[in-house]
Structures are given as structure tokens and as C-alpha cells.
Structure 1
């Protein structure tokens, strides 16, 4: 019996005291062998075109000197998107709706950016604390505000992804739980609304993975440029 609505997101399946729900995060690797076929399929060509578009966009954000790092952000985008889509399948654990996963993605990257900026790009790191044209009297306040905004970046990245993933799933769960108690005439309306919500959640799964990768790229570009 469900104690509360949020308990549907708790990992429950275990084997030898190991939570099997997190195994769904590895399902994305099953798609990789398709990329190594001698003759690429339409799906493989489609995905290759997407990665090329993302590479061009990330290359512009990172600058020519660090354009090769775009491969890392494309991999990050792919990993998050596959996990978001897998969470839409029935009886598949939505790992990207948990802060334990989203923070594990955002925090190490932010920390590595800060270490690199402090030891290699020190002037760039501290220059972003004071925007151009700031009056002298406001400089201490701007430094404080920018420092706080930089510190909370991994938290905002993690919460944004987890909150957007869990919000749509909660709405789908709420509507689905009303199915047994409504009349047959309203059941078709419920099914139609569930289908429309599922399409919306599919779009959110792509958009949120793109937003996470782009924001991480922008945070990296502030240090490198």
C-alpha cells in the first residue's frame, strides 16, 4: 500500500541488499553497439547528426581552444536524456528524479571547474565576480552576490533536473490513481489526458537534458574564456 504519493519514487526492488532500480541507469549502454555497425542505420545517422549539431553549439560556447571538451558534454546530454526517457516506461525506476544522482553529476563538474579556474585561470575566475561597469560603492555587494550564485550552481542544476522530472511523474500518478473511481464516460478523457501528458513529458525529458548540458557548458566557459 502506498503510504504517500512520493513513495512511488522510492527504490524498492532489491536483490542481495542491492537496489536493482538503479540498474536502469545503465540501460543506455545497450544503445551504443548500434553506432559501430559497418553500415549505419537511419537511427544511427539521425543520432550522429544530433551530436554534430550539439558539438557545433558547445564549441561556440567553450571557445576554439577547448572545443574538444564538447564530447564530454554531449555524453552528459546523452546519459541524462536516456535516463529521462527510461523513467517514462512502466515499472522502470526514474533515477534522474533523485537528487542523489543529479547532485552526483553536477557537484563533481562544478568542483573541477572551480579547481581549474583557481589554479590555471585565476584572473578569469575572479574577474567574473565584478561585472563590467559596476560602481565602486557596489563592488563589495556584487562580489558577495556573485560568490553566492557560483556556490549554489550545482544545487540549482541538480534541483532543476530532479524537480522537473518528478513533477510530471507525480501528475501522471495522480491522474492514473483516479482511474478506478471514475465513470466509464470520463475514462476516455482520462486516457486522452494521460497520452497528452506523456507527450509533454517526452519533450521535457529532452529539454531538461539539453538545459543541464548547456548550463554546465556555460559555467565551464566562464572559467575557460
Structure 2
């Protein structure tokens, strides 16, 4: 029995083994389609999306010599997108709604950017702490503000993704709890509302994976 509204996101199963996190590996089911002799329309659409992202990430990173530098961000986009979509299916654990996964993606990436930037471009990293045109009186305050905003970046990345995924799921859960006591007219309205919310959640799944990967690319371009 559900003790509270957020217990639907608990990573627990009927057995003693917590097998919910295995849903992350379900994205591997989509990979064999890439190796078919004749690609499908879905495969061609996915290749177009990845090529568009590759061009956009190259512009943001401003790296022409290092080929393959955008692969980590494309892989990040694909991983988050697959997990966001899988969480919309019934009885599949929504892994991206947990800070354990989102913070595990954001924190190591941000930490590696910071270590690389401070070791190789120390003077440029100091220059980033004071924006151009800052009055000398405000410089100490700007250094504190920029330092704090830099430290909270992985937290904001993780919270943004998990909060947006939780919000839509909670709305759908709240509406489904009302359906048992609703009249026939109200039931039809609730079903239509849930379908609209499900369409909106599909858009949120794409947007949040794009936002996460594009912000990671921008953080990487700052240290280079």
C-alpha cells in the first residue's frame, strides 16, 4: 500500500533484491537496430538528431582539431533521453527522478572540468571570476558570487532533471487517484487531461535531456 505520494518513486521490489535500477540497461535494447543492414525510419531519424547535436556541440565547444570530443555529450543526451522515455511506461522504475543517478552524472563531469581548467588554464579560470566591466569596489563580491554559482552547478543540473521528471509523474498520479470516485463525464475529462499530460511529459523528457547535455557542453567550453 502506498504510504505517501512520493512512495511511488521508491526503488523497492517485492523481493529482497532491488532490481529497479536494472531498467537503466533497457536502453541497450534499442542499440541493435543501429546494426541492421537496411536502416529503419526510426534509425534514420535518430541519426539526423545525433548529427544535428554533433554540429551544435562542435560550435559550442569551438574545437575543430579534436574529433570525437562531442561523443561524451551525445552519449549523455542519449542515456538521459532513453531513461526519461522509459519512465513514462507503466511499471518501469523512473531512474532519472532520483538524485542518485542525476548527481552521479553531473558531479563527476563538473569535477573533471574544474580539475582540467584549474590545472591547464589557471589564469583564465581566475579571469572568469570577475566579469568584464565590473567596478573595482564590487570585485570582491563578484568573486564570491561567481564562486558560489560555480560550486552549485552540479546540484542545479541534478535537481532540474529530477524535479521536472517528478512533477509530471506526480500530476498523473494525482489525477489517477481521483478517477475511482469520479462520474462518467468527469472520467472522460480526466482521461483527456492525462493524455495531454503524457504528451507534455514526452516533450519534457526530450527538453530535459537536451538541457542537461547542452549545459554540460557550455561548462566544458568555459574551461577550454
- Aligned equivalents of 2:56, 2:26: Cα separation in 1: 27
Per-residue displacement from partner, 1:58-112 (whole Å, max 9, x unpaired)? Answer: 0000012456321110000000000000000001000000001000000000000
Match of 2:22 in 1: 23
Q: Which runs of 5+ in 1 are unaligned?
A: none
Distance 2:185 2:70 in 1: 52
For residues 130 and 8 of structure 2, what CA distance do their matches in structure 1 show? 45
Q: Tell me the TM-score normalised to structure 2 length.
A: 0.97
What is the number of residues matched between the two proteins? 223
Range 22-31 or range 67-76, more displaced = 67-76
Q: Deviations over 1:155-205 (max 9, x none)?
A: 000000000000000000000011101111211111000000000000000
User: What TM-score, normalized by structure 1, do the two folds share?
Assistant: 0.96
Alpha-carbon distance in structure 2 between the residues aligned to 1:144 and 1:123: 17
Secondary structure class of the residue paired with 1:217: helix
Tell me the alpha carbon deviations over residues 96-135 of structure 1, each in whole angstroms, 9 at most, x when there is no partner.
0000100000000000001100111212222111111111
- The residue that corresponds to 2:80 in the other structure is 80
Alignment CA distance shift 1:120-1:137 (3 Å): same
Deviation at 1:14, TM superposition (A): 5.6
Q: Which residue of 2 aligns with 1:48?
A: 47
CA contact (8 A) 1:13 1:20 kept: yes
Tell me what 1:203 maps to: 203
After superposition, the CA RMSD in angstroms is 1.1
Say whether 1:63 aligns with 2:62: yes
Say which is worse superposed, 5-14 or 101-110, in terms of deviation: 5-14
Q: 1:18 to 1:124 in 2, by over 3 A?
A: farther
Change over 3 Å in CA distance of 1:149–1:75 after alignment to 2: same
CA contact (8 A) 1:14 1:20 kept: no
Q: Unaligned stretches of 5+ in structure 2?
A: none
Query: Is this contact kept in 2: 1:24–1:93, CA < 8 A?
Result: yes
